[in-house]
């Protein structure tokens, strides 16, 4: 898979480093990351049944489109994706892992100039647990994750 390199500055230790990202022109494609780890998963959301199911469940809750997209990105990895071998979940929207201090607090980032590409073989997330759940269990999992990850929101 051909990815674009971005330059990041770590807010924790101050070093600059390069990390891969999906092309800014891609639609419906995401890199899922883990906290404190360089592990990645590639999600083609347009063709992912689990992503469509979570999105539909959020739409059924009456969220407006903007809030639905925010919540979907906040909970999808934890709700639908199988965790990594160490039990830690993959998440959407996490900044990259700093190779110096292992933090994930990149405060400044920009695409490299000239644009640099990197070819990586990134596995897709798996959805074995999600696929084994009943419709009611999926709704409960979504509700519970919304309550945990978005405590400021009123979740019914």
CA distance 76 to 86: 19
List, in order, residues 6 or more apart from 40 with CB less than 8 Å away: 20, 31, 32, 33, 120, 122
Q: What is the mean pLDDT of the chain?
A: 93
pTM: 0.88
User: 61-74 as b/e, with b when 16 or more CB fall inside 10 Å?
Assistant: eebeeeebebbbeb
Mean pLDDT of 30-58: 96
What is the pLDDT at residue 152?
A: 62
pLDDT digits (tens, 9 = 90+) for 75-107: 999 999 999 999 999 999 999 999 999 889 887
List, in order, residues 6 or more apart from 62 with CB less than 8 Å away: none
Indicate if the pLDDT at residue 153 is higher than 90.
no
What is the pLDDT at residue 16?
A: 94
């Amino acid at each position: 898979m051909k990815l674009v390199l971005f330059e990041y500055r770590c807010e924790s230790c101050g070093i600059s480093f390069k990390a891969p990202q999906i092309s800014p022109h891609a639609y419906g494609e995401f890199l899922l990351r883990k906290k404190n780890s360089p592990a990645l998963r590639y999600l083609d959301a347009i063709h992912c049944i689990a992503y469509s199911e979570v999105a539909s469940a959020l739409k059924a809750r009456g969220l407006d489109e903007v809030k639905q997209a925010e919540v979907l990105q906040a909970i999808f990895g934890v709700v639908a994706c199988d965790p990594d071998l160490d039990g830690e979940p993959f998440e959407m929207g996490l900044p990259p892992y700093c190779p110096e201090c292992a933090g994930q607090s990149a405060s400044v980032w920009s695409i490299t100039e000239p644009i640099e590409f990197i070819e990586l073989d990134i596995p897709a997330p798996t959805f074995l647990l999600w696929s084994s759940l009943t419709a009611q269990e999926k709704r409960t999992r979504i509700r519970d994750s919304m309550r945990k990850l978005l405590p400021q929101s009123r979740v019914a």
